[in-house]
Amino acid sequence: MTASPEWLDAHLGPVEAIAIALPDHPATAAWDALLSAVDAHQLRVLDVEFVRRTDTGIERIPASSVGAPADFDGASSELLDVADLDAVTSDLAAGETAAVLLVEHLSMLHVVHSFETAGARMLLDGLLDHDELDDAVGAED
């Protein structure tokens, strides 16, 4: 059974924060890939923040300062506050910049709908810490 547009509008798919340390040169193909995923309705970008680590913490910077496409200028919804940004970019060195994306995985909404239609309810959506996942996968080698 396919979810109705009303059901889809009333529900969120799994949401994830992704922090990406950016190179000094613009990564045009990477931004194009992100926009293609949005256009294909695989992801919804709920927030995008561009930050630079300073000696005193994190500062927000304009998208244009990191070579991101004009689509991202003013795209911040500020759902991620400075404390969130500081936490997810803790591995960023002073002077480095990062893009922090808060994305909704739209491809999972139909799966969630199927479970709920069968009487299930979602208890938690979230992801494992990548370091913990790497450790677990590495332990099997």
Q: What is the mean pLDDT of the chain?
A: 84
Domain range list for the chain: 13-107
For residue 118, the model assigns a pLDDT of: 92
Q: Are 95 and 22 in contact (CB under 8 A)?
A: no
Kind plus residue range of the DSSP H or E element containing 54: strand 43-54
Examine the pLDDT at 137 and tell me if it is beyond 90: no
Report yes or no: 126 and 32 within 8 Å, Cβ to Cβ: no
pLDDT tens, residue by residue, 52-104: 999 998 999 998 888 888 778 878 888 888 888 988 899 999 999 999 999 98
